[in-house]
A and B are shown apart, each in its own frame.
Chain A
Amino acid sequence: MNGATAFLRRIAPQLVTLTVLLLLVALVFPGFFEISIANGRLYGSPIDILNRGAPVALLAIGMTLVIATKGIDLSVGAVMAICGAVAAAAIDQGLGLVPALALALGVGLACGLWNGLLVAMLGIQPIVATLMLMVAGRGIAQLITEGTILTFTHEGLIFIGAGAFLAIPMPVLIWIATGLLVAFIVRRTALGMLIEAIGVNPRASTLAGINTRVLLIAVYMTSGLCAALAGVIAAADIKGADANNAGLWLELDAILAVVIGGTSLLGGRFSIIASLIGAMIIQTVNTGILLSGFPPEFNLIIKAAIILVILVLQSPAVRTAFVFLRREKPSAQAKAETVAQ
Chain B
Amino acid sequence: MNARTLPLLATVAIFLIAYAVCYAQFPAMLSTRVIGNLLTDNAFLGIAAVGMTFVILSGGIDLSIGSVIAFSGVFIAVLLRDTGLHPLPVFAMLLVVTTLFGAAMGATIHWLEMPPFIVTLAGMFLARGMAYVLSIDSVPITHEFYDTLQGLYYLMPGKGRLTFIGGLMLLVFLAGILLAHRTRFGTNVYALGGGAQTARLMGVPVGRTTVQIYALSGFLAGLSGIVFSIYTSAGYSLATVGVELDAIAAVVIGGTLLTGGSGFVAGTLIGVMIMGLIQTYIIFDGTLSSWWTKIVIGILLFGFIVLQKALVWLTGRNGRALGAAR
Contacts of A248 in B (CB 8 A): 241
User: Which residues 225-260 of A have a CB within 8 angstroms of B?
Assistant: 243, 248, 252, 255-256, 259
A133, A142, A301, A312: the one contacting B130 at CB < 8 Å is A301
B291 contacts A143, C-beta separation under 8 Å: yes
B81-110 CB mask vs A (1 if < 8 Å, else 0) is: 000000000000000000000000000100
B8 in the interface, Cβ–Cβ < 8 Å?
Answer: no
User: Which residues 81-136 of A have a CB within 8 angstroms of B?
Assistant: 122-125, 127-129, 131-136
Contacts of A300 in B (CB 8 A): 125-126, 128-129, 132
Size class of the A contact interface (CB-based, 8 Å): 35 or more
A122, A265, A295: the one contacting B309 at CB < 8 Å is A122
Among B114-122, B187-195, B318-326, the one that faces the other chain is: B114-122
A136 contacts B113, C-beta separation under 8 Å: no
Residue on A with the closest CB to B249? A135
A138 in the interface, Cβ–Cβ < 8 Å?
Answer: yes
B112 contacts A317, C-beta separation under 8 Å: yes
A135 contacts B298, C-beta separation under 8 Å: yes
A128 contacts B129, C-beta separation under 8 Å: no
A132 contacts B132, C-beta separation under 8 Å: no
B130 contacts A140, C-beta separation under 8 Å: no
What distance in Å separates the Cβ of A66 from its nearest Cβ neighbour in chain B?
14
B162 in the interface, Cβ–Cβ < 8 Å?
Answer: no
What distance in Å separates the Cβ of B128 from its nearest Cβ neighbour in chain A?
5
Contacts of B129 in A (CB 8 A): 297-304
A134, A147, A315: the one contacting B113 at CB < 8 Å is A315
B122 contacts A304, C-beta separation under 8 Å: yes
B294 in the interface, Cβ–Cβ < 8 Å?
Answer: yes
B119, B290, B298: the one contacting A147 at CB < 8 Å is B290
A296 contacts B132, C-beta separation under 8 Å: yes
The 4 closest A-B pairs by CB, nearest first: A136-B298, A139-B294, A300-B129, A142-B291
Interface set of B (CB-CB < 8 Å, partner A): 61, 108, 111-115, 117-119, 121-126, 128-130, 132-133, 136, 241, 245, 248-249, 258-259, 289-299, 301-302, 305-306, 309
The 22 listed contacts between A and B (C-beta, < 8 Å) are: A72-B117, A125-B259, A132-B298, A133-B298, A135-B294, A136-B295, A136-B297, A136-B302, A138-B291, A139-B291, A139-B295, A142-B291, A143-B289, A143-B291, A147-B289, A265-B117, A297-B133, A301-B130, A311-B119, A312-B112, A315-B114, A316-B113
